[in-house]
Structure 1
Amino acid sequence: MSDIPIPMRKGITTGTCAAAAAKAAVLAWQGQPATVVEVISPQGITLTAPIAASHALANGGVAWVIKDAGDDPDITNGVKIVAEVSITDQPGIMIKAGEGVGTVTKPGLAMPVGEPAVNPGPRTMITKAVNDCLPPGKGAVVTISVPNGETIAARTLNPTLGIVGGLSIIGTTGIVEPMSEEAFKNSLVPQISVVRALGYDEIVFAPGKIGQDIAVNRYGLPAETVVQTSNFIGHMLENAVKYEMRRVLLFGHLGKIGKVSAGIFHTHNRMADARMETIAAYMAVSGAPQAAIEEVLSATTTEAAMPIIARYNMNKVYNLLAERASSRAMRYVFGDLTVGTVIVTLKGEILGLDQTAREIGGHLGWNVPIE
């Protein structure tokens, strides 16, 4: 049996689909319906896309492409990307958002407020694809639609980013690289630019949706300041510096924050997992008996460790872990940020926090009692 890995299949972005559909719509108007079209990526690479269907309209055409993300687990895989093109006598290409394509409502993104959420790369591809087919002196209005796009977008970061009404048409290269961690990390960063563009220099980092909801709904932190980091806390701290944030409030479950306390900034369990060892170490520093340390080390989850910590009256360890997480985070970015930390349970109860967290949270108007 061969040990040579089978290469993963690449896909095409929503931007490539939209450009291909727009080109096919113009070709249909010209009486040249196509089953496959070529479009040019922003880097000048020729890409091909199959056309699911196309037909002429009275003053233009319509076509659609079924998004193929290759072997990438993309939420938009299999969606229908539709382009309806109306031919005009004025040169130039206007791009509009149809059903299921979002509109930008917050500053700080690639497109200004009020514009369709069709990013610069796809705009370049659509414009070139249409212009290459149009007769001299003609222009076009291109309306991009994604049936059911608004429902799908509810399961993305679009609502957090202020993209309302549907999906974004994205893609800087036109190609989907399968299982690209780098692409996922970079998709999180625009959250920071939106917060900065809204005038804040303080931001709240929550590793997941549960923490984000707790921060906003239970403790009253401004929703526009609370963003998700997933497992990439270090990456997001670096970008907070890049966008000239001044203070960061880490707000998360003991499982994630415990890792940061140990200097782990990519918190996926396959990368590093020292949760129980870290908690046990700080319990030891805080004077816990040997039996308590052994019980914590035997626990399989941090939730299972919490009753042990309570039984031995060692709840003060949470504040120590929060202080340590803040210290390690500030060291990670060489002191370019001030960081405070809050540790919560899955039910939203605060286990521990440091003084800097109180200062940042208080300045942002949270409803945590002052002690």
Structure 2
Amino acid sequence: MTFETVIEARGVTKVFSTQRGLFRRRSVGARAVDGLNLTVRSGETLGLVGESGCGKSTTGRLLLRLIEPTAGSVLFNGRDLTELSTGELRSSRRQMQIIFQDPYGSLNPRMTIGDAIAEAYIIHGIGDRASRQRWVLEMLDLVRLPRSAVTRYPHEFSGGQRQRVGIARALALKPNFVVCDEAVSALDVSVQAQIINLLQDLQNELKLTYLFISHNLSVVRHISDRVAVMYLGRIVEIADVDALFTRPAHPYTQALLSAIPRSHPDEPRHRHPLTGDLPSALAIPKGCRFASRCPFVQNRCRTFDPPLDPTPDHSLVACHRAADGTLPAYSLNS
């Protein structure tokens, strides 16, 4: 089966420079994202998971070129975003949007909800005043908010309602690719479920493609078609959601899954606790960057950086032992 690619990252790297040393004269680069290769297929939800600070949100912003990559290219519908002029990029941004984590911080407290949604049409010079007002009301209907919200301000709404406004703003220009950057992590659990269901309904209705960034593996399992696991700026595993949650191939993925709370305290589980310290992005270690915390590490792991290679079940994994079949079998229950 072939899939149409919506967005593809090829060797994307982002290095943030910082000043260190006496009088802060020495410049050091923190590799937030390092040689990223990632493909998002049309109509799918690709989950992106990993520890805080691993580069997930930076990846989402790099794909939209909200921040400039240090190296590599990003292809959106076959067009390299890194080569576009400012005007060309603005035009392309109609087709790709982002839903931010903080539904209050992403809204201007001095703007009404109607003005906040209409801002997208004004920036892109779409429609007149009457048509913009009509479209704003249609967007409120789309995200299940009352039309009376158009004249109200962000502080008058709950967190879940404000996130619905954020979704309306992201979808106002009818994009086909949306980055959901921790879009439900700031919400109560019951509200999370409502927003997740809304996102799925909108995906089916509007034929959307999502990159869903989250640290909540249970939510990722519910909404995703495929999942990419990130560690210290590098993708270490990509697999279909069912394969990843039942047969994780990378030791880091195994450790993440073993930490998911069980529904019953007596339910058997096999923990894979991580030991050692997380390496610094200012000094990426030689070889596999997970070697200092991996319970199955070998000498070759500290010397050679494993590539992201396919496995027999069509997933991709960056692990020497997984590639040659010497990694011990994983089981959720023990």
Kindly indicate whether structure 1 or structure 2 has the higher relative contact order, using CA contacts under 8 Å at least 6 residues apart.
Answer: 2
TM-score (norm 2): 0.28
TM-score with structure 1 setting the length: 0.26
Larger Rg: 1
